[in-house]
């Protein structure tokens, strides 16, 4: 049992049996993200003052929440004179039990200030400010129900709270409390520790400090030497002690239990950081990481060794978010989750936040202050009470704004696997198979790789609620496992399990509720198409206050995914101890178990004879391939994975001769399953993925290039499995291989990676997104998924390792993946930046050439179709002074321009014009621009036409300005002969500008005339609008040429046919039609105005023309009288003429 007293002596939380190392929880690597709005529990009783019409600062002390404590699936809330028991299920949060002290007892003994829960004793130990200890027994009364909650008809068993024992400890002045199944340990005002049994008899006493000054017996928690925090880590048998003066100590017991003064016990003081005072402390129950909060607002993390040695890991603070030590205030408390993967930190002024041990901030909640505080409670009441639920999916905290309220935050825990996601690359696969899953207490949060439009840069989050018939009886959900393909999920709560198929979009449950309630799952794993439940038998249904620690024998049960029933049970296997980590590859399974000091590993094989199917009856058995037991001083394992098979001498041993093991302290090790030797690979690892074969890699599948991805405080690192095994054989760590992390994979303090998806070369992560309501002082949370492309860092890693062939295959295989062009662009940009940075420091001819350089990268990209597009994008993003370095390796810009022109990549070709003009001179730039102008006119790419015209005008103008500045004249150019049939050089820059303008005008006029001749008025309007070409002079010149209309009816028919060939449902936009009509009017082509207005059904324009010329109206009416398609339109015009 771990019970931690809040600093200040009033608010305390108990981390329960799970924190001590024996609870029922998923021990695989996990992260926690908050979602939804916090639920508010109104704890004000009828006897107390109402808070509806009064502010929090006017509350009576008896209504302020002093401490919160997790009690099974309920929450105990303590006030000065009352203990309340609340349910925290999604069916309702109601008060099911209550114990209220008499007013006379409160006056004599003081209010309830500290508490701790002991699940095996089913008892809540409460200590008053006057030193009186109450042992309260909690029991469910099936004869009474506490009704209420958010769901109509919800019923909860009432909880009877009675006094089992009461004894006076006022003589030792207790200020902190800790319990286990045999001992009640009190921290005292003089810095001593006193242990009692459950009957109230004093067992022993240990003084940490020599006697000091006179103690204040009225408020003992204010004494400078008083013990403020007590926490027990069962896996290390270590007691954490924090005094009010900032002194912190570690006390290691020689055996289990809180037995003081053992001859072989160890004791040491923890030194505070320089010029800082420790104000809060907490020890992770699994990773043995000590978190020390200080008055400066920083939280320092230390790794605690087996000999109680301390090694500093990192410091967490809000400095990156603009907070200083003064603005954030002191660290009031730190609370680890039961698995030690995340911690809740409370600042005096900066609110509540949740962090990972690596320093990623997962949640931030800020509440305002209550205003003025009463002097009598200023040292204690201002501090918030915080505690985690045993499964870590809820965080309970008292409200700072209203001390009578309690906030309940919902969290989702990610299902982190050591195997990458194997989803497809098309849109349907990205939307049907989740890239990552997070488990809430009553739902699964599925992260899909793209949005509904197929954009892989915008992953989406969907909430998948658990079926009510399962979650209603087995709340909360505790375990989740995802199949290798990601199509199937397995979720387990208090009893049984539920399966979900994304393909069929349906849940599968145990058909018999009795079978479901007869097993309690400890872990879940998928073995191909079979789900494996590691479970223990149970004789009763879930209870509100039951002890969830593993008890009894452990079994592996294998069920087909299509049916959960005793009749479909394939086989079962008994284990000696609950597993700590499991991993499956094909039909093989590795199971790791054991506590600190011992590690047991077993390799199993599931043999299924016959096909799996609803109508089949296959025969299955479990075969033990290997078993090994080693003695180790490392913490328990949390994640494992088979080492992929390598070619050469190791190929015959297969992928089951070794495995990678991640321990709770972040040590990634290589475990030889034949010899039992375990060697370290890398430290500071929080999670890893072992990829058997990178996409697009070796055809033979030898596995020589298998990759290992790790995540931790360094960020994401890439390692070659073959290289790792070589270092293991040499007895070296792989730390040197990750000294320079990829800039794209550096540690992000707000985004946590959830899943690796090699199919689309990306990592899906999650970050906090908060929402505020003006009417609410609080705010809610909506997790925001994000995608990080991996192609660029992966190619960079392969090139650095000299694996060019693998990099080329990967690039060709990823051509249709999202982020492909952007990843290549970033790859070229980063290596180019490295090259010219080196050139600034060392002369380019003398600088060393490595495996990862500009020439190698461009050689890789040159073999891909997007080469020219990547080069021009990079060039447009860098300073032109570096263009020479880029195109020295990339090739001549004019050649890249011609290649783009031949492949009809006109936008890419246009991007090269400025580069050609800068590097090869304005003549070449103008010649390329004219060639591109002709091509775009022929293809109807009018968006580029306007850009090209502006480029040519600007280029000629700049040429004349430069010639005037130099006082000389420009030379001739070859492109004039192409236009004018003469190679005569220009006599001056002004003549050159004039001829260039004439050339451009010639191209535009010829194209406009061709559009008019073919009656493609829609293209003409777009052309005039995009290019800015003045078509009025051309219309006047061609009035008797291409603009001549043979007959009105024929012209209407030709224009209609042209519109029909262009396939435009909406013939022409209003702006373009007005542009054409205005041009025709300005050119005096009234007949064209009438024809176009008729085709576009512009009756107001026609009526204005016909009212001034009745003869023209008569001719128009006779021309269209026989055309049935214009009958309704003519009637409309006739009504308009009659009305006018």
Evaluate the omega torsion of the peptide bond into residue 768 and state whether it is cis, within 30 degrees of 0: no
Could you give the CA distance from residue 1015 to residue 1054 in angstroms, rounded to a whole number?
A: 7
Could you give the CA distance from residue 641 to residue 655 in angstroms, rounded to a whole number?
A: 10
pLDDT of residue 1065: 37
> Per-residue pLDDT for 964 more than 70?
no
> What are the residues whose beta carbons fall under 8 Å from the beta carbon of 214, sequence distance 6 or more?
none
- Round the average pLDDT of the chain to a whole number and report it: 82
Determine phi and psi for 750, rounding to 5 degrees. -125, -10
Question: Where residue 1014 falls among pLDDT bands split at 50, 70, 90?
Answer: confident
List, for residues 306-362, the tens digit of each pLDDT value: 889 999 999 999 988 888 888 889 999 999 999 899 999 999 988 899 999 999 999
List, for residues 240-296, the tens digit of each pLDDT value: 999 999 999 999 988 888 888 766 678 899 988 888 999 999 999 888 899 999 999
> What are the residues whose beta carbons fall under 8 Å from the beta carbon of 347, sequence distance 6 or more?
297, 318, 328, 329, 330, 331, 332, 353
CA-based nearest residue to 34, from 340, 347, 440, 492: 440
pLDDT of residue 703: 40
DSSP 891: -
pLDDT of residue 989: 56
Reported in sequence order, the residue ranges of 649-694 that DSSP labels E, i.e. its strands, are 658-663, 668-672, 678-682, 685-691
Determine phi and psi for 847, rounding to 5 degrees. -75, 145
Q: Which residues pair with 1012 in a beta bridge?
A: none
Cα dihedral: 816, 818, 823, 825 (round 10): 70
> Per-residue pLDDT for 664 more than 70?
yes
Average pLDDT score over residue span 557-585:
91
**How many residues comprise the chain?**
1140
Residue 779 is encoded by which pair of tokens?
């705010």
Residue 576 is encoded by which pair of tokens?
């000696």
DSSP 1127: H
pLDDT of residue 1068: 58
Question: Where residue 63 falls among pLDDT bands split at 50, 70, 90?
Answer: confident
Could you give the CA distance from residue 451 to residue 457 in angstroms, rounded to a whole number?
A: 8
> Per-residue pLDDT for 994 more than 90?
no
891 — alpha (psi -120 to 50), left (phi > 0) or beta?
A: left
- Contact criterion met (CB below 8 Å) for 360 and 748: yes
384 three-class SS: coil
Could you give the CA distance from residue 857 to residue 129 in angstroms, rounded to a whole number?
A: 71
> Per-residue pLDDT for 646 more than 70?
no
List, for residues 493-539, the tens digit of each pLDDT value: 999 999 999 999 999 999 888 999 999 999 999 998 999 999 999 88
- Contact criterion met (CB below 8 Å) for 753 and 711: yes
Question: Where residue 53 falls among pLDDT bands split at 50, 70, 90?
Answer: very low
- Contact criterion met (CB below 8 Å) for 224 and 212: yes
Residue 315 is encoded by which pair of tokens?
């410091």
List, for residues 411-423, the tens digit of each pLDDT value: 999 878 888 877 6
Q: Which of 145-154, 255-264, 914-923, 1012-1021: highest mean pLDDT? A: 914-923
Question: Where residue 148 falls among pLDDT bands split at 50, 70, 90?
Answer: low
Number of Cβ within 10 Å of residue 643's Cβ equals 27
> Per-residue pLDDT for 591 more than 50?
yes
Of 38 and 1022, the one with more pLDDT: 38
Place of tokens 């991805």: 709
> What are the residues whose beta carbons fall under 8 Å from the beta carbon of 762, sequence distance 6 or more?
449, 456, 787, 788, 789, 790, 818, 819
38-52, 206-220, 276-290, 1089-1103: the lowest-pLDDT one: 38-52
List, for residues 720-745, the tens digit of each pLDDT value: 888 888 888 888 877 767 767 788 88
- Contact criterion met (CB below 8 Å) for 583 and 589: yes
Q: Measuring CA to CA, how many Å separate 970 from each of 907, 959, 960, 967?
A: 30, 8, 8, 10
Question: Where residue 378 falls among pLDDT bands split at 50, 70, 90?
Answer: very low
CA-based nearest residue to 6, from 287, 231, 329: 231
Place of tokens 């109450």: 134
DSSP string, 960-1016: HHHHHHHTS-----THHHHHHS--PPPS-HHHHHHHHHHHHHHHHHHHHHHHHHTT-
CA angle, 874 then 875 then 877, to 5° = 65
Percent of the chain predicted with pLDDT > 90: 36
Could you give the CA distance from residue 55 to residue 371 in angstroms, rounded to a whole number?
A: 9
Of 438 and 657, the one with more pLDDT: 438
pLDDT of residue 972: 44
> Per-residue pLDDT for 388 more than 90?
yes
């Amino acid at each position: 049992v771990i019970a931690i007293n809040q600093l200040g002596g009033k608010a305390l939380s108990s981390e329960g049996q799970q924190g001590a190392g024996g609870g029922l929880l998923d021990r695989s690597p996990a992260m926690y993200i908050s979602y939804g709005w916090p639920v508010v529990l109104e704890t004000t009783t009828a006897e107390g003052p109402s808070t509806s019409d009064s502010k929090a600062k006017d509350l009576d002390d008896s209504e302020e929440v002093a401490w919160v404590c997790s009690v099974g699936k309920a929450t105990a809330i303590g006030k000065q004179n009352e203990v309340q028991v609340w349910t925290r299920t999604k069916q309702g949060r109601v008060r099911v039990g209550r114990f209220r002290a008499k007013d006379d007892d409160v006056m004599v003994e003081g209010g309830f200030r500290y508490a701790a829960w002991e699940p095996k004793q089913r008892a809540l130990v409460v200590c008053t400010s006057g030193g009186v200890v109450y042992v309260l027994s909690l029991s469910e009364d099936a004869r009474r129900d506490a009704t209420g909650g958010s769901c109509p008809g919800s019923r909860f068993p009432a909880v009877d709270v009675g006094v089992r024992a009461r004894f006076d400890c006022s003589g030792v002045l207790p200020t902190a409390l800790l319990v286990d199944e045999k001992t009640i340990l009190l921290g005292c005002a003089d810095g001593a520790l006193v242990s009692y049994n459950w009957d109230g008899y004093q067992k022993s006493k240990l003084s940490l400090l020599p006697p000091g000054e006179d103690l204040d017996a009225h408020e003992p928690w204010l004494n400078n030497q008083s013990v403020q925090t007590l926490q027990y880590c069962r896996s290390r048998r270590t007691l954490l002690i924090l005094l009010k003066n900032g002194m912190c100590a570690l006390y290691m017991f020689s055996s289990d239990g809180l037995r003081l003064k053992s001859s072989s016990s160890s004791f040491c003081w923890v030194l505070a950081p320089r010029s800082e005072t420790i104000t809060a402390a907490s020890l992770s129950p699994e990773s043995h990481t000590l978190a020390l909060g200080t008055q400066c607002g920083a939280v320092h993390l230390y790794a605690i060794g087996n000999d109680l040695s301390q090694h500093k890991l990192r410091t967490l603070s809000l400095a990156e978010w603009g907070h200083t030590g003064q603005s954030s205030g002191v660290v009031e408390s730190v609370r680890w989750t039961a698995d030690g993967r995340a911690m809740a930190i409370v600042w005096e002024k900066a609110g509540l936040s949740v962090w990972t041990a690596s320093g990623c901030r997962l949640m931030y909640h800020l509440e305002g202050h209550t205003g003025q505080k009463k002097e009598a409670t200023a040292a204690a009441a201002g501090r918030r009470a915080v505690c985690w639920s045993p499964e870590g999916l809820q965080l309970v905290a008292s409200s700072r704004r209203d001390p009578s309220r309690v906030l309940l935050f919902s969290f989702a825990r990610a299902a982190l696997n050591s195997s990458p996601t194997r989803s497809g690359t098309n849109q349907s696969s990205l939307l049907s198979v989740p890239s990552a899953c997070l488990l809430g207490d009553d739902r699964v949060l599925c992260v899909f790789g793209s949005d509904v439009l197929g954009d892989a840069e915008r992953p989406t989050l969907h909430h998948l609620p658990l079926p009510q018939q399962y979650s209603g009886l087995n709340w909360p959900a505790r375990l989740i496992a995802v199949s290798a393909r990601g199509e199937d999920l397995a979720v387990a709560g208090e009893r049984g399990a539920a399966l979900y198929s994304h393909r069929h979009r349906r849940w599968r449950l145990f058909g018999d509720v009795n079978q479901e309630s007869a097993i309690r799952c400890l872990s879940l794993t998928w073995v191909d198409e079979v789900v494996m439940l590691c479970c223990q038998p149970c004789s009763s249904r879930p209870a509100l206050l039951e002890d969830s620690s593993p008890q009894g024998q452990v079994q592996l049960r294998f069920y087909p995914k299509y049916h959960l029933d005793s009749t479909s049970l394939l086989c079962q296997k008994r284990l000696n101890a609950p597993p700590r980590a499991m991993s499956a590859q094909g039909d093989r399974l590795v199971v790791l178990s054991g506590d600190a000091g011992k590690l047991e590993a077993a390799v199993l094989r599931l043999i299924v004879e016959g096909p799996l199917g609803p109508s089949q009856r296959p025969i299955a058995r479990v075969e033990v391939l290997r078993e090994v037991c080693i003695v180790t001083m490392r913490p328990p394992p949390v994640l494992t994975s088979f080492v992929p098979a390598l070619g050469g001498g190791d190929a015959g041993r297969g992928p089951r001769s070794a495995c990678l093991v991640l321990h709770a302290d972040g040590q990634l090790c290589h475990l030889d399953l034949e010899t039992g030797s375990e060697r370290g690979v890398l430290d500071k690892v929080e999670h890893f993925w072992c990829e058997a074969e990178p996409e697009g890699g070796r055809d033979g599948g030898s596995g020589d290039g298998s990759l290992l991805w790790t995540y931790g405080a360094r960020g994401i690192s890439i390692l070659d499995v073959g290289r790792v095994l070589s270092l293991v054989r040499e007895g070296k760590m792989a730390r040197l291989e990750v000294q320079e992390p990829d800039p794209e994979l550096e540690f992000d303090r707000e985004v946590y990676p959830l899943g690796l998806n090699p199919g689309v070369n990306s990592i899906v992560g999650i970050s906090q997104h908060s929402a505020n309501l003006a009417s609410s002082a609080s705010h809610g949370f909506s997790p925001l998924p994000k995608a990080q492309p991996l192609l660029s860092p992966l190619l960079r890693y392969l090139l650095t390792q000299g694996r060019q062939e693998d990099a080329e295959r990967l690039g060709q295989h990823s051509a249709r993946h999202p982020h492909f062009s952007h990843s290549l662009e970033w790859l070229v940009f980063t290596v180019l930046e490295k090259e010219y940075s080196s050139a600034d420091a060392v002369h380019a001819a003398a600088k060393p050439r490595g495996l990862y350089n500009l020439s190698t990268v461009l050689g890789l990209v040159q073999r891909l179709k997007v080469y020219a597009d990547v080069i021009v994008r990079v060039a447009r993003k860098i300073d032109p002074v570096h263009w020479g370095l880029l195109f020295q390796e990339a090739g001549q810009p004019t050649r890249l321009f011609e290649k783009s022109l031949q492949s009809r990549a006109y936008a890419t070709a246009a991007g090269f014009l400025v580069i050609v003009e800068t590097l090869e001179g304005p003549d070449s730039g103008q010649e390329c621009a004219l060639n591109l102008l002709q091509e775009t006119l022929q293809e109807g790419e009018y968006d580029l036409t306007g850009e090209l015209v502006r480029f040519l005008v600007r280029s000629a103008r700049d040429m004349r300005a430069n010639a005037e500045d130099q006082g000389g004249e420009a030379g001739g150019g070859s492109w004039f002969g192409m236009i004018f049939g003469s190679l005569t050089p220009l006599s001056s820059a002004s003549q050159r500008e004039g001829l260039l303008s004439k050339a451009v005008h010639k191209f535009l006029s010829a194209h406009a005339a061709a559009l008019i001749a073919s009656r493609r008025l829609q293209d003409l309007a777009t052309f005039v609008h995009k290019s800015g070409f003045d078509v009025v002079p051309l219309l006047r010149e061609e009035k008797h040429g291409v603009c001549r209309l043979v007959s009105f009816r024929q012209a209407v028919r030709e224009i209609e046919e042209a519109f029909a060939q262009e396939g435009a449902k909406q013939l022409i936009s209003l702006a373009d039609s007005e542009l054409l009509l205005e041009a025709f009017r300005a050119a005096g082509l009234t007949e064209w105005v009438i024809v176009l207005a008729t085709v576009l059904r512009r009756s107001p324009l026609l009526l204005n023309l016909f009212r001034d010329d009745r003869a023209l109206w008569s001719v128009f009416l006779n021309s269209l009288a026989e055309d049935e398609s214009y009958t309704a339109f003519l009637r409309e015009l006739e009504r308009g003429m009659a009305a006018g």
